[in-house]
A and B are shown apart, each in its own frame.
Chain A
């Protein structure tokens, strides 16, 4: 029996992959461990590859007979078990590598968030190319591809509620995991940096020197306009942009002076715009590429945005200044 290769891509919000799954004589089972029944994703992989889908929740399947395993793990145990055993793992929930076996999970053995439509028959694969000469499998593939997965066995009411609740909890759990990850990787390191700077400014008396520079600039409208004009200069703005580090550090300095009473608090609003007319000026070509812009659009877009900022930067400060009346 000739098996075909499928490509399994990550689904919405998923991670890893794409995996190429080709069953062999020995590894000829699509093990499905999703709490009973054959999941549509397992069904589709089985149909496209020609392998057999097995409900591994009921019948145990030795790891060495699995072409791949389909799981619905939200990110603790199963998610790492099969990658560790060397079995290609397709997770139908959008889970990121996590759990105690996280180290074994990588993009070559794990893909998550998979839905049936993310399973695609590979026509250019070598085995298929050989067959093509005689049997024209491309037509065969077209016949197979749109076939709808067989109806999933009906579930009892309680089971459906249980699965629904499980799904909601899994989403919150994943959201929490991403949040803590972001806080640890992005927010706390910058807090450490900021706290160190503020500590030095407050304790050493450097603050008095900085106040002499910052207060007249950030505490008056002409000063803020001057800052925004300079930061928006097309030769400067792309240099001031990266990571918004300059804006963040200047923001902290202005914040310290507001806290010490050297800059009136209602100037916080226009200051937020004055220190930041350069936002994203370093990123224009990348941002346009993400929006699938043509090279010519990028060529024109870069100077257009830079030039626009020179005009809109100071205007933004004036608008914010008008909106700051009655703020504090």
Chain B
């Protein structure tokens, strides 16, 4: 009988521990998340999609802006997965590179702007909650994730653009 009680206690203990984690996430993250996402959602509505698209079209020609500002804007304003629709402003040969840059930014943005991809929040939050557990501030990690993210998507854009061009050349195809 006593052994059974021990097993039951251990069994419940697993989920008591899980419950503690759940409550700490609910009270620690959700309130900030809700107000932050509400503010950003409202901002996006105030700016309006048309204005954003007009600006996006202007910066497609520059190779640096094409794989930094354009994808960051796309992910911030249109969020995952509608961000990829900005590809339509680009010539065919740049589309794979733009997609690569944009999709690679849907996680680095999460530390600062979780509205962009709330369904995949835990790519960032999973690691971040370890940092929180150590009572270290999250700000430095979030900002560095964002900045390194921009460097990485720029690099990805360039590399994928070159690979696409090489593959097109090998095919003798003009897109």
Contacts and interface: CB of A to CB of B under 8 A. Distances in A.
A328 B90 CA distance: 40
A296 B175 contact: yes
Q: State which size class the interface on A falls in.
A: 35 or more
Nearest to A250: B126
B160 A308 contact: yes
A280 B90 CA distance: 19
Interface residues of B, number: 86
Given A301-B96, A311-B159, A199 B21 contact: yes
A244 interface: yes
A186 to B, nearest CB: 4
A157 interface: no
A243 B108 CA distance: 16
B103 A176 contact: no
Nearest to B95: A293
Contacts of A13: 45, 49
A268 B123 contact: no
Given A255-B128, A291-B84, A171 B46 contact: yes
A271 interface: yes
A247 interface: yes
A139 interface: no
Contacts of A268: 127-128, 130-131, 141
Chain A interface mostly:
helix
Given A198-B21, A273-B152, A308-B159, A251 B127 contact: yes
A174 B45 CA distance: 9
Contacts of B127: 251, 254-255, 258, 268, 271-272
Contact of A312 (B81, B122, B155): B155
A258 B84 CA distance: 34
Contacts of A255: 125-131, 133
Contacts of A305: 96, 99-100, 160
Given A195-B19, A293-B87, A316-B155, A286 B148 contact: no
B123 A244 contact: yes
Interface stretch (A49-57, A141-149, A319-327): A319-327
Given A251-B123, A255-B126, A328-B136, A187 B13 contact: no
A180 B164 contact: no
Interface of B: 13-22, 25-26, 29-30, 33-34, 37-39, 41-42, 45-46, 48-50, 81-82, 84-88, 90, 92-93, 95-100, 102-104, 106-108, 115, 118-134, 136, 140-141, 144-145, 147-148, 151-152, 155-156, 159-160, 163-164, 167-168, 171, 173, 175
23 contacts: A186-B119, A186-B121, A187-B33, A187-B118, A192-B22, A194-B21, A198-B18, A243-B120, A254-B127, A258-B127, A258-B133, A258-B134, A259-B130, A260-B133, A268-B131, A287-B99, A315-B152, A315-B155, A316-B148, A319-B148, A320-B148, A323-B148, A327-B140
Interface of A: 12-13, 94, 171-172, 174-176, 178-180, 182-183, 186-188, 190-192, 194-200, 202-204, 243-244, 247-261, 263, 265, 268-269, 271-273, 275-276, 279-280, 283-284, 286-288, 290-294, 296-297, 300-305, 307-309, 311-312, 315-316, 319-320, 323-324, 327-328
